[in-house]
Amino acid sequence: MVLQLLKDVFGSAQEISPFVFALRSITVGFLLYVEGKVLPHRSGGQFAGYDFAFFWMMGGITAAPLFEAKISYINTVIIVAVIYILHYLISYIAVKNRNFAKIVLGKSVPFISEGKIIRPNMAKAFFPLELLLSDMRSIDAPNLNEIEAAVLETSGHVSVLKKSDFQPVTPKDLNIPTMGGGLPTLLINDGKVVKENLKELGYDDEWLKDQLLKKGMPNLEDVYAVMIDSSGELYYTVKTQE
């Protein structure tokens, strides 16, 4: 009885009841969890065509045991593993070998160069002008006359470089000295001191307490988060009741 049930859930069956399908859904949920943990970062970003194939297929394969009673869970796990290994191998070789990468991932295609649209490239990539304009609007570059260069990336979206007249003014243009910048570091997360980050910057708990005291925060427990930017400026926020 139990054996038959396990066989229905994990193996291939002719016909199964809604209850067994429910059990299958839970096991598929578990598989989803494991996949989510090990999924390569690049696949979700869909940098190139094979990421696209991988990402969409993983979803399809994982849910497959729920499509039909015949499809077995064990086969699903095998195939998920095979596809994962293949994606891993392709990424690995592509990082090592640029020529291989060009073949598998394709190359980015210039669409606009020196302010002129390159029509043959657009046709080769099956890109109507409408689509180019929409993609440019979505990256805040709606005017063709402002564009010096545009490139269709392997991820299928267009990137642009604006002409100098239409680039925002930066502090460098006006010779204004700047401080800070870069990524800020989290020092307290949900009331707990992040020891590694503190150590990396060469500070200790005492220093942090001292700094917070200066800002008028005597109790570490009341602090929700503290961040420090590269110029040494501290930002903190307290826990609120609601």
Partner 1 sequence: MDWKSFWEGSKDLSAFALALRAVILYIALIIATRMMGHRQVGILSGHNYLVAAGIVSLAAIRMLNPESSLTSGIVIVFVYALVNVFLSYLDIKWPKTIDRKPTILMKGGIFLKENMLDCHVTLDNLLGQLRLKGAHNLSEIDSIVLEHYGKISVIKKPEALPLTRKQMSLPPKTVSLPTILIYDGKIDEKNLQQKGLNREWLMTRLREKGISNLKDVFLAMLEVDGTVYISV
Size of interface with partner 1, in residues (CB under 8 A): 67
When the beta carbons of 52 and 203 are compared against partner 1, the nearer one is 52
Spatial neighbors of 145 by CB under 8 A, at least 6 apart, are: 115
What x/- string results for residues 94 through 113 when contact with partner 1 is judged by CB under 8 A? Answer: ----x-----x-x--x----
Q: Which is nearer to partner 1, 53 or 193 (CB)?
A: 53
Our CB check for partner 1 shows the closer of 122 and 188 to be 122
The DSSP secondary-structure symbol of 167 reads S
Buried b (16+ CB within 10 A) or exposed e, 146-174: ebbbbbbebbeebbbebeeeeeeeeeeee
Residue 83 contacts partner 1 per CB under 8 A = yes
134-to-141, 153, 221 alpha-carbon distances in Å: 10, 15, 49
Pair 225, 236: CB distance under 8 Å: yes
Regarding 117 and contact with partner 1 (CB under 8 A), the answer is no
Minimum distance, C-beta of residue 181 to partner 1, in the bound complex (Å): 17
- Binding span for partner 1 by CB under 8 A among 16-24, 27-35, 72-80, 210-218: 72-80
Interface of this chain with partner 1, residues 141 to 160, rule: CB under 8 A: 142, 148-149, 151-157
Beta pairing class for 223-228 and 234-238 = antiparallel
Nearer to partner 1 among residue 15 and residue 114 (C-beta)? 114
Neighbours of 132 (CB within 10 A): 20
Instruction: Show Cβ contacts of residue 137 under 8 Å, excluding neighbours closer than 6 positions.
Output: none
134 belongs to the binding site for partner 1 (CB under 8 A): yes
Distances (CA, A) of 157 to 99, 150, 166, 230: 22, 10, 21, 33
Binding region for partner 1 (CB under 8 A) out of 18-26, 28-36, 165-173, 209-217: 165-173
Contacts of 162 (CB under 8 A, 6+ apart): 141, 146, 147, 148
40 makes contact with partner 1 (CB under 8 A): no
Residues at the contact surface with partner 1, assessed by CB under 8 A: 46, 48-53, 56-57, 59-61, 64-65, 67-68, 70-72, 75-76, 78-79, 82-83, 86, 90, 98, 104, 106, 109, 114, 122-123, 125-131, 134-135, 137-138, 140, 142, 148-149, 151-157, 161-169, 173-174
